[in-house]
Amino acid sequence: MKGSLEADQLIKNWPMRTISVSFSVLPGQALALLGPSGCGKSSVLRMLCGLLAPDSGRVLLDGTDVTKEKPYRRGIGMVFQDHALFPHLNVEDNIGYGLATLGVGRKERRRIAGDWLSRFDLSGFGKRKIESLSGGEKQRVALIRTLVMKPGVILFDEPLSSLDAPLRRRLQTELRSRQQELGYTAVYVTHDDDEARVLADRIIRMEQQPDS
């Protein structure tokens, strides 16, 4: 089974702080990185998916070193905080954005988007504008946009932080069941203990050193 991820002594230095992490996730496992604001959780995700270059250390995907690979060549997807949906594109075009990069034709992109939307109870949403979606719908579209690329690993950067408490609880359960159903490896970043317990099989607590 594919989808094992390892952060091997990843280190990133800034003038006032240093991030240093090592962990691994098994295929199909869900891991939560828990820690206070500003401890560097999001930076770890950005190093894993290639948006931030570490000063030292390696990122291994299924045993292969992908540290020097460009983000989209790593086979790692990411769901961003506040969803990061493209406001000028409709739902369908948002979902198909990455597929277009792969050279998938427009018709096929629409078909794929339609399939995934119906799996996520969003049938008929393809032509909707992003601004017309509710928080939960945006969250699902962001997840679909990542899933259609068939990544082995999906990173979630505080995926539910912008939602209200009842919706957050409902989507925590949904995210968990989707992950188990589809079998992708997930790494969540959150500062909420309860959320981490619902979403993940394993929790790693990041701590801030007093002198950092």
| Smallest separation, CB 161 to other proteins (Å) | 12
Torsion sign over Cα 189, 50, 182, 26: negative
Q: Which of 35, 40, 77, 159 binds other proteins (CB under 8 A)?
A: 77
| Smallest separation, CB 80 to other proteins (Å) | 4
Q: Which of 11, 60, 62, 97 binds other proteins (CB under 8 A)?
A: 97
Q: Which stretch binds other proteins (CB under 8 A): 16-24, 32-40, 96-104, 173-181?
A: 96-104
Strands (E), 26-124: 30-34, 56-61, 64-65, 76-79
Q: Is 101 in the site for other proteins (CB under 8 A)?
A: yes
Helical axes 135-147 vs 106-119, angle rounded to 10° = 130
Residues 75, 87: Cα–Cα separation, whole Å: 25
Q: Is 109 in the site for other proteins (CB under 8 A)?
A: no
Residues 48, 36: Cα–Cα separation, whole Å: 19
Per-position x/- string for 45-64, each x denoting binding to other proteins as judged by CB under 8 A, each - no binding:
-x--xxx-------------
H, E, C per residue of 89-106 = CEHHHHHHHHHHHCCCCH
Footprint on this chain of other proteins (rule: CB under 8 A): 46, 49-51, 71-72, 76-78, 80-82, 84-88, 97-98, 101-102, 145, 149
